[in-house]
Amino acid sequence: MTYGDIFLQALLEAAPERKDEFLKTFEFIKNLPEHMEFNKEVPEHEAESLLMALRQEKESILAWINREDFNKSSCDS
C-alpha cells in the first residue's frame, strides 16, 4: 500500500458519494513530480496505523473536502 492509497482510502471513506471525482483527481495528482511521495510504499503495520488515524479524523477530512473546490480541478481540462 502506498501513501496515496491510504490518502485516497480516507477520502473515499469520508465521502463515498464523490468516488468518481476523487479517483479522477487523484490519478492526475499522483503523477505530478511534486507529489511523488504518494507513490512511496508504506510498511503494512504503518499503513494500518495511518489509516486508523485518518478514520478518527473523518469529520476534519469532511470539513477539508467541503472547503476545497474539487469541482474546479485543473484535471477537468
Per-residue pLDDT of the chain (77 residues; tens, 9 = 90+): 999 999 999 999 999 999 998 899 888 888 888 878 888 999 999 999 999 999 999 999 889 888 876 555 545 44
- Tell the residue number behind the cell numbers 471525482, with chain if given: 21
The dihedral sign for the CA sequence 63, 4, 9, 50: negative
Q: Are 65 and 22 spatial neighbours (Cβ–Cβ below 8 Å)?
A: no
Locate the domains of the chain by residue range: 3-76
pTM across the whole model:
0.76
Q: Are 36 and 2 spatial neighbours (Cβ–Cβ below 8 Å)?
A: no
What three-state secondary structure class fits 38?
A: helix
